[in-house]
Amino acid sequence: TLVERKSTRPLSPNELKNSQFPKLDLLMKNSREEAKKVEKAQSLVQVRYSINEADKIKIRNILLSSTSTVKSKETKQECKEVVKEVCQKVEELKEELQELTIECCNHKQIITPSNSFYESNLPSENILKYFESKSCEWKKYKKSLVDSHCHFDMLFPKIKYNNSSIYKYFQDFSCFYMKNFEACINVICNPRSFSNKNKLKNYFKNYSHPKIYHTIGYHPHFADLWTPDSEDALMDALIKHPKVVALGECGLDLSKNNSVDFETQIKVFQRQLLLASEKNIPIVIHCRDTEEKCYEMLKEYLEPDHLIHLHCFTGSTQIALKYLKTFPNLCIGVTPLITFKKDHVKQMIKSIPLERILLETDSPYFVPQIKNFPNSDVKVSHPGFIFATAESIAELKEVSIDQVIDVNRNNVRKIYSF
């Protein structure tokens, strides 16, 4: 049929020459060769291909189906017309066809010659337009911009980004990063990433970049995954890796999103507090719906002058001030959550000194809800969106953006020593 073509062997030159639809057959031949090159496959059963996401529905139904068969004369004629239209597109869209998506059906994998993720996840025209304008606006700010809390290993799956090079990511999404973006702190908090030293070594290989620093610890959602081997890997990284700057995030979480037994959370949190205290390592705290218990444990196991980052704190103003008073080297992390309709969070941020605030994105969570931001096109947050947190705090506290990002840079230097 026109729709399903067996790929037990490539077409010969004569077959290509005599084909009813030579350009389409050539396209399929090229697709097979590309698949063989990338996958080194020995026995591909068939190749499915697409021309462009914007193609008409009738083209997609016929060309992307690997099971349909052509039976009636009318359907055959429709196929001819559609293929003719596609062949015209081939001529018009040569550049786009170089990024043809190939699906090796027997491997259930998606491969693209130029990228390892779906092209649709690249910034759209609306996004590019917005960030071009925003970048021009931010040229006047000279102070360094730092995101103190993000998760690359959670971001990449959400954008289906499978490229092993973090450098390639910064190229593909460069528009999201202002010129004064200096660095971000990537939080490794799923023990599956550091269940042993070899896994952690591979992790650092994938996420090493001049702009990236790391923290490492057991998130309360994964407290039940604690093992002696993972603790060995954690401690080895904390002591030996030059860009691991703190322990965490760790803490307690009684929200509905966490299924780990609270006693287990307490034991693993206690263990990490003791390690941080013993090695005098800065610590990143996750605290949800258990502010008092978390406060009590910090007070019991840490010295008052310990360096603490209280991540994405959403408690009351009263408890926030209590933390700040007891721990003079504690800073409270503020995410784009303040751009949401969260009046109690905004009131709390207003009440604490700018000198005790750290800017966060908590990427890939909390896509900013600010004026003109292309929310319809942006589904996840990137570390580069830290500009939105800075702008919102500046507006909330009625100070300049330059002052906000300068104070944040000093606070990062104070807590994380870089």
Residue 79 has pLDDT above 80, yes or no: no
- Once rounded to an integer, what is the mean pLDDT over residues 128-152? 97
The SS3 assignment for 73 reads helix
Is-cis flag, bond preceding 364, omega within 30? Answer: yes
Examine residue 172 and state whether it is found in any structural domain, yes or no. yes
- 22-39 and 73-92 helices cross at what angle (nearest 10)? 70
pLDDT higher at 171 or 101 = 171
Looking at per-residue pLDDT, the higher value among 75 and 137 belongs to 137
- 188: confidence class by pLDDT, cuts 50, 70, 90: very high
Residue positions counted in the chain: 418
Rounded to the nearest integer, the mean pLDDT of the chain is 83
> Could you tell me the residue range of the domain that residue 255 belongs to?
145-416
Over range 381-406, report the average pLDDT: 98
Could you tell me if residue 118 is inside a domain? Answer: no
Give mean pLDDT, residues 69-93.
58
CA distance 316 to 313: 9
- Of the two residues 96 and 190, the one the predictor is more confident about is 190
Give 2 or 369, the one with higher predicted confidence: 369
Please report whether residue 376 resides in a domain: yes
Q: What is the percentage of the chain residues whose pLDDT exceeds 70?
A: 71
Strand partners, 214: 186, 244
Q: What's the pLDDT at 111?
A: 31
391 in a structural domain: yes
Total domains in the chain come to: 1
Q: What is the Rg, in whole angstroms, of the alpha carbon atoms belonging to the chain?
A: 26
CA distance 246 to 418: 11
Mean pLDDT across 348-365: 97
pLDDT value for 369 = 96
Comparing 71-80, 185-194, 232-241, which segment has the lowest mean pLDDT? 71-80
Query: Does residue 228 lie in a domain region?
Result: yes
Evaluate whether residue 290 is within a structural domain: yes
What local confidence, expressed as pLDDT, does residue 183 receive? 98
Query: Which is nearest to 373 in space by CA: 340, 414, 329?
Result: 340
Of 37 and 287, the structure prediction assigns the larger pLDDT to 287
Q: Does 263 fall in a domain?
A: yes
Q: Identify the residue with better confidence: 51 or 125.
A: 125
* Of 103-117, 195-209, 245-259, the least confident: 103-117
Query: Hey, CA dihedral for 400, 403, 405, 408, is it positive or negative?
Result: negative
Domain assignment present for 381: yes
> Any idea what DSSP says for residue 144?
P
Q: Which range (24-38, 218-232, 271-285) has the least confidence?
A: 24-38
Residue 318 CA to its chain's centroid (Å) = 33
Instruction: Tell whether the model's pLDDT for residue 23 goes beyond 80.
Output: no
Which range among 42-56, 112-126, 245-259, 261-275 shows the weakest confidence by mean pLDDT?
42-56
Q: How confident is the model at residue 194 (pLDDT cuts 50, 70, 90)?
A: very high
pTM of the model: 0.73
What is the average per-residue pLDDT within 299-317?
Answer: 97
Query: Mean pLDDT across the stretch 23-52?
Result: 51
Three-state DSSP class for residue 71 = coil
Q: What is the mean pLDDT of residues 375-397?
A: 96
For position 343, what pLDDT does the model report? Answer: 92
- How would residue 15 be classed by pLDDT, with cut points 50, 70 and 90? low
Per the model's pLDDT, the better-predicted residue between 346 and 56 turns out to be 346
- Would you state the structure tokens that stand for residue 359, as one six-digit string? 């800017």
With 60 as the cut, is the pLDDT of residue 312 above it? yes
Q: Would you say residue 36 has pLDDT above 80?
A: no
Q: Cα separation of 274 and 29, whole Å?
A: 62
pLDDT of res. 162: 78
Q: What is the CATH number of the domain that holds 236?
A: 3.20.20.140
% of the chain exceeding 90 in pLDDT = 68
pLDDT of residue 35: 55
Cα separation, 379 vs 377, in Å, equals 6
Identify whether the C-beta of residue 70 lies closer than 8 Å to the C-beta of residue 2: yes
Query: Do the bridges between strand 308-311 and strand 283-288 make them parallel or antiparallel, or are there none, so unpaired?
Result: parallel
> With 60 as the cut, is the pLDDT of residue 4 above it?
no
Residue of 277 and 53 predicted with greater confidence = 277
